[in-house]
Structure 1
Amino acid sequence: MPYGPLPGPADTGPGTLNGRARPSETPDSPAAAAPEARRAMNSRQILITKEVCLMTRDLRTARNGAVLTFLLGGLMVGTMTVRIPALTDKLHLSEAMIGTVLLVWGLGALVTMQAMRPVMARAGSRTVLRVGGPATAIGLVAVAFAPNLPLLLAAAALFGMAFGMIDIAMNAQGSTVERVHGRPLMNGMHAGWCVGAIAAGAMGALSIVLGLSFTANVALVGLVSLPVMVALGRTYLPDTPAAGSAGAARRRLPPIVYLLGALMFFAFMVEGTVADWNGLFMRDTLGAPEALAALGYPIFEAGMLIARLTGDRLRSRFGVRGMLTVSGLATAGFFAVVLAAPAPMVALVAVFFVGLGVATISPLTLSLAGTATDTPGPAIAQAGAMGYAGLLLGPVAIGFLSDATSLRTALGLAVVLGLLIAATARFLPREEPVATPPAPVREPAAVG
């Protein structure tokens, strides 16, 4: 038979072709292993895709958590500051007494901030926020119910110390999120603060219209903020491994951190002056009704919000040094308009532009401090402590200067501070330091 015998049962199957074996598909051949390799590769790709999705979700959650923390911080502090005129009426306080209350609040924050450098290096921002956030809300409730000046001073100290914890920690957490994302985000996070402060001002004005007391307004905000702060504890990213080393707390910081701290000192003096004294200036010097005077702070924060929402893009285009110089000059010029305003509405418009001018100074300086070393926490703690020394001294100095001269004259200090910001910014390097991306640290059980 020309074609040979037909294949038997042993000659048929997947390894034969017309009775001949397929030598390329033996069990040990690469072709036979290819489907298994493809399946293994597909499985790895699926796992990698799932991991990327989980990390992206965690980073988005962490960013949102940081923004909400800034928002609640602005809401709580703004609620107290916007109702300072009502607090003076409730406890019959003079301007010097209010200055003392603000001094105690600022000292509490400053003492905590000075202690934060080693704490941040060892515990990290996430742990500090989980403790300090709820404590800040409790401190605000204590301020609301204080029945006399001594207890108010004690409550202000507690509120200030707790706020000092979260202020440093939320900026360090923001720096960690910013470094992981690899692009400027700090101005956007500080915009959350502005949203909270604007909400505080709007709620304060509404409370005045509705006849709500200082106690009712402030206590409500504190009691609502408490459970939210607890819930936000699960959203924070852990710090980089280097940030937890004991050596990071003892390491000498580069000189630029202290220069940035000086800029924060001047900027926070201006912000504190507007927050604590603008309402009284509007009411007592310009003759504005209390409800209109209460709008000065949220209008100031509205200007800050707009500037911070665009600040990250402007930073990428113009650089930090140029932005800080223009910000200082704008702050000085528009605050001079506030002081020379012939009517409350003119001052309200001018204070909006003061907010535009001063808004990006603190987020820019804190962001640069976070890139000055490989461990952002201690550097931010140092710059933040210097900044809050300005927040402490500014309103207090205004209080005592106004007793000696007049409130309008005392507020002229803010014009000088704006000029100092513009001059000091010229000492910054032209090129920004390059941020080193932190080592990936992910704990899905704690972040989400």
Structure 2
Amino acid sequence: MSETTVAVPQRARWAVTAYFVITGAALGTWTARIPAIKQDLGLDDAQVTLALFAVAAGSVLAMQIVGHLADRLGSARVLGPAGIAMSASLLLPGIAGNLPALVAALLLFGAGHGTVDVAMNTHALQVQRRYGRPIVSTFHAMFSVGGLLGAGVGALAAHAAIGVGAHFALVAAALGVVSLIARRALLPPEAAATGNPVRQRGISPGIVFLGVLAFFCSLGEGSMADWSPLYLHDVLRTSPAVAATGYAVFSAMMAVFRFLGDFLVARLGPVLLVRCCGAVAGVGLGGALLLHHPVAAIIGFALFGIGLSCIIPQVFNAAGNRDPSRSGRDLAQVSTLGYGGLLAGPVVIGLVTSWTDLTTGLATPAVLAVFVALSAAAVRPR
């Protein structure tokens, strides 16, 4: 095998890594400046909620289209332009002068984000096939790194009183340059293609079930941001500083163990890994809630992050490899359900809490994690 042949998947791996980083960074940048945008436009909480819904709506709508394009044209042909478009769309929320303009801008930003999300995950699986070993979990870890990078730069910009428009313009330019460079190293469409005709059959029950597993895991992830601090502060009566550590520990453990995910799946296989991760997440969080102590709760949130870290990459891997000729569409459907779980998590926990209490509410994602562990056979390679 020639040096050039070996270098192609290596370059493509770095390129896909770059797309995962810039996608996380774009989302982290927007999230970090929500308070400033709210203040600049004089929005109330209901209007901010509408703006957040616009991002989600744009992403979900785009996911329904991009899967077909990635299968028909090749993910590289979609990912390159989509990365540039997503970077450029970050400009729009920064210059929106009122709520309607902000909602329209965020619909476009969400559409760009959703398009890149599906295309880069599809291309990541194609690169993994060229490698012949697990590498997908590391990509997802780099998305988390990008999110932390975007949020960190956003916090510095807010501290330095840099206007949202100028901040978003600088970040959009930087992300656009990275996207332009990265697109040249993607696998060429003829190398990435499967050679099989595009099939027009509907969604298979297996893909729906993988989407359900993604929904359950994302529901747990979404619930942690809003409810773990409230559990520590309101139920266990900790200080605000201690309450903030719950979500921080959860996020840190999820990122760290995603970097270890490729090593673990190579040693254990996807089924055993998902089974162990689901058990760690469910038993860890459930046991902590039963102990009803701040230290136990923080350890439980850490175990929940460890458990969830490797499941979504394996679910995406299984979905994208069931039928390579429709990998983009299958990933789009699973991504849509996963995104729905992320949005539904805080709401579901809130509803259960309103009927019972917060401890019972947080037990819901623990039970769902155990269900995922019992359903681990769904990620078995085909």
Pair in the same fold by TM > 0.5: yes
Using the TM superposition, give the Cα deviation of residue 307 of structure 1 relative to its aligned residue in structure 2, in angstroms: 0.7
Return the TM-score normalized by structure 2: 0.82
Structure 2 residue aligned with 1:104 = 54
Contact 2:279–2:373 (8 Å) recurs in 1: no
For 1:214 and 1:80, locate their aligned partners in 2 and report how far apart those are by CA, in whole Å.
9
Contact 1:145–1:219 (8 Å) recurs in 2: no
Contact 1:242–1:248 (8 Å) recurs in 2: no
Structure 1 residue aligned with 2:100 = 150
For 2:42 and 2:282, locate their aligned partners in 1 and report how far apart those are by CA, in whole Å.
33
Greater Cα shift, 60-69 or 118-127: 118-127
User: What does 1:47-66 correspond to in 2, within 5 Å?
Assistant: 52-66=2-16
1:370 aligned to 320, 333, 352, which one?
Answer: 320
Q: Does 1:419 align with 2:364?
A: no
1:227 aligned to 156, 169, 177, which one?
Answer: 177
2:25 aligned to 51, 57, 75, which one?
Answer: 75
Structure 2 residue aligned with 1:250 = 200
Greater Cα shift, 108-117 or 370-379: 370-379
1:184 aligned to 121, 134, 140, which one?
Answer: 134
For 1:423 and 1:296, locate their aligned partners in 2 and report how far apart those are by CA, in whole Å.
24
Contact 1:184–1:312 (8 Å) recurs in 2: yes
Residue 350 to residue 425, structure 1, CA distance change in 2 (3 Å) = closer
Using the TM superposition, give the Cα deviation of residue 186 of structure 1 relative to its aligned residue in structure 2, in angstroms: 0.4
Letter in 1 for 2:334: A
Contact 1:332–1:416 (8 Å) recurs in 2: no
Q: Does 1:265 align with 2:219?
A: no
For 2:263 and 2:334, locate their aligned partners in 1 and report how far apart those are by CA, in whole Å.
23
Contact 1:175–1:367 (8 Å) recurs in 2: yes
Contact 1:330–1:418 (8 Å) recurs in 2: no
Greater Cα shift, 162-171 or 259-268: 259-268
For 2:129 and 2:77, locate their aligned partners in 1 and report how far apart those are by CA, in whole Å.
19
For 1:96 and 1:325, locate their aligned partners in 2 and report how far apart those are by CA, in whole Å.
40
Using the TM superposition, give the Cα deviation of residue 68 of structure 1 relative to its aligned residue in structure 2, in angstroms: 1.1
Contact 2:217–2:368 (8 Å) recurs in 1: no
Letter in 2 for 1:391: L
Query: Helix, strand or coil: the match of 1:250?
Result: coil
* Structure number, greater radius of gyration: 1
Using the TM superposition, give the Cα deviation of residue 169 of structure 1 relative to its aligned residue in structure 2, in angstroms: 0.5
Contact 1:190–1:363 (8 Å) recurs in 2: yes
Letter in 2 for 1:149: L
For 1:253 and 1:398, locate their aligned partners in 2 and report how far apart those are by CA, in whole Å.
26
Using the TM superposition, give the Cα deviation of residue 357 of structure 1 relative to its aligned residue in structure 2, in angstroms: 2.6
Structure 2 residue aligned with 1:324 = 274
Structure 1 residue aligned with 2:338 = 387
Query: Helix, strand or coil: the match of 1:184?
Result: coil
For 1:311 and 1:80, locate their aligned partners in 2 and report how far apart those are by CA, in whole Å.
28
For 1:88 and 1:278, locate their aligned partners in 2 and report how far apart those are by CA, in whole Å.
22
Query: Helix, strand or coil: the match of 1:183?
Result: coil
Residue 107 to residue 332, structure 1, CA distance change in 2 (3 Å) = farther
Greater Cα shift, 148-157 or 322-331: 322-331
Structure 1 residue aligned with 2:380 = 432
For 1:158 and 1:284, locate their aligned partners in 2 and report how far apart those are by CA, in whole Å.
37
Using the TM superposition, give the Cα deviation of residue 421 of structure 1 relative to its aligned residue in structure 2, in angstroms: 3.3
Structure 2 residue aligned with 1:165 = 115
Structure 2 residue aligned with 1:16 = none
Contact 2:284–2:303 (8 Å) recurs in 1: yes
Letter in 1 for 2:368: L
Letter in 2 for 1:433: P
Using the TM superposition, give the Cα deviation of residue 279 of structure 1 relative to its aligned residue in structure 2, in angstroms: 10
Letter in 2 for 1:109: S
For 1:213 and 1:413, locate their aligned partners in 2 and report how far apart those are by CA, in whole Å.
39
Contact 2:33–2:154 (8 Å) recurs in 1: yes
Contact 2:18–2:179 (8 Å) recurs in 1: no
Structure 2 residue aligned with 1:137 = 87
Query: Helix, strand or coil: the match of 2:185?
Result: coil
Count of residue pairs the alignment pairs up: 374
Query: Helix, strand or coil: the match of 2:186?
Result: coil
Residue 136 to residue 298, structure 1, CA distance change in 2 (3 Å) = farther
* Percent pairwise identity: 29
For 1:362 and 1:187, locate their aligned partners in 2 and report how far apart those are by CA, in whole Å.
9
Query: Helix, strand or coil: the match of 1:248?
Result: coil
Greater Cα shift, 208-217 or 131-140: 208-217
Contact 1:278–1:296 (8 Å) recurs in 2: no
Deviations 1:3-36 (A, max 9, x none): xxxxxxxxxxxxxxxxxxxxxxxxxxxxxxxxxx
Deviations 1:273-325 (A, max 9, x none): 446x4799699978748xx96x9877644322211111112122333333334
Using the TM superposition, give the Cα deviation of residue 364 of structure 1 relative to its aligned residue in structure 2, in angstroms: 0.9
Using the TM superposition, give the Cα deviation of residue 415 of structure 1 relative to its aligned residue in structure 2, in angstroms: 4.1
Greater Cα shift, 208-217 or 122-131: 208-217
Letter in 2 for 1:78: G
For 2:44 and 2:282, locate their aligned partners in 1 and report how far apart those are by CA, in whole Å.
28
For 1:274 and 1:213, locate their aligned partners in 2 and report how far apart those are by CA, in whole Å.
30
Contact 2:84–2:179 (8 Å) recurs in 1: yes
Gaps of 5+ in 2: none
CA RMSD of aligned residues (A): 3.7
Structure 2 residue aligned with 1:32 = none
Contact 1:99–1:399 (8 Å) recurs in 2: no
